[in-house]
Amino acid sequence: MKIKVLKKTENELKIEVEGAGHTLCNLLQKRLLEDENVDLAGYDVPHPLASNPIIYVRTKGRVKPEEALLKAVEKAREMNKKFGEELQKALKT
């Protein structure tokens, strides 16, 4: 998976993620929107045959957008780990 920075300013970040799909982008968008420092978060898949979505983050200025995105990634990792643990418990019963 390759990530290309398309735009980076003090409170905006736009990246292209090669090979990602709606699942990853939607998860990150939801985690970003939970952050009170994020003003806007979204993604776009410009062409359905070229799966290179563009993720966009705009913060309110208190944190950098890349920090908000990294925080969202960490929240997604924690959620995935917790899901795996709960699934293992459920399958043992």
**For position 49, what pLDDT does the model report?**
76
Whose CA is closest to 54, among 30, 27, 20, 89?
A: 20
Please tell me the class of the 3-92 domain.
Answer: alpha beta
Domain borders along the chain are 3-92
Return phi, psi of residue 10, to 5°: -60, -35
16-64 tens-digit pLDDT: 999 888 899 999 999 999 999 999 999 999 887 777 999 999 999 899 9
**For position 46, what pLDDT does the model report?**
84
